[in-house]
Chain A
Amino acid sequence: QTVVTQEPSLTVSPGGTVTLTCASSTGAVTSGYYPNWFQQKPGQAPRALIYSTSNKHSWTPARFSGSLLGGKAALTLSGVQPEDEADYYCLLYYGGALVFGGGTKLTVL
């Protein structure tokens, strides 16, 4: 049973920078896992933010960036805005199977 682990919760001040991470129980996350990141606000469907580690969708704000960091996938928010308060999920690809991380609840305070 593959497990993808994210920080359960993080708090950041408006204008600050925060990094969310995504780890795999199978070992280091590489670009071959095609990490994706999604944002979900209460009562809404998830929204795609980042695909294939670091690629942004046309609607993804410039303050969001994806990378690999220390064997994990990472999502960095620079210059956090109040509207960034949400749940964030990573998704990893395991050769035909996909696994979501447990999600990170980001509080902007």
Chain B
Amino acid sequence: QVQLVQSGAEVKRPGSSVKLSCKASGGTFSSNAISWVRQAPGQGLEWMGGIIPMFGTANYAQKFQGRVTITTDESTTTAYMELTSLISEDTAVYYCARDSDVSAFEIWGQGTVVTVAS
């Protein structure tokens, strides 16, 4: 059974960085894209970027260009998302989602709450 397990909640100061992890189990890690999506309190879903592990090059939403880095470690089947220069508006639940061979965003992680506050 394909599953994504995300790292725990984070509390960060404005101006700092956060790096979240998303460990995949089951299925084929290398060839299926993993994306990161965030959801601010009471708001909708927002795609941040994604990566296909076997290719290693990530695509990012224009809004996050220069501030987000998505990477993977195939040896541990884990994806990472680092967001820098945090501001209060980055307070959100961050999800990872993985494609299957036929569909996008088929499997979702449980989400990680990131709180940015001074």
Give the B-binding residues of A (Cβ under 8 A). Answer: 1, 34, 36, 38, 40, 45-48, 51-52, 55, 57, 87, 89, 91, 93, 96-103
> Please, how many angstroms separate the alpha-carbon atoms of A46 and B39 in the complex?
11
* B residues 75-112 touching A (CB-CB < 8 Å): 95, 97, 102-111
Q: A51-B102, A96-B59 are in contact. Are A45 and B45 (CB under 8 A)?
A: no
Chain B residues in 8 Å Cβ range of A1? 62
B103 touches A100 (CB 8 A): no
How distant is B14 from chain A, measured CB to nearest CB, in Å? 25
How distant is B106 from chain A, measured CB to nearest CB, in Å? 5
- CB-CB nearest in chain A for B48: A98
Chain A residues in 8 Å Cβ range of B105? 36, 38, 46, 48, 91
Chain A residues in 8 Å Cβ range of B111? 45
- CB-CB nearest in chain B for A103: B44
How distant is A35 from chain B, measured CB to nearest CB, in Å? 10
> Please, how many angstroms separate the alpha-carbon atoms of A48 and B97 in the complex?
10
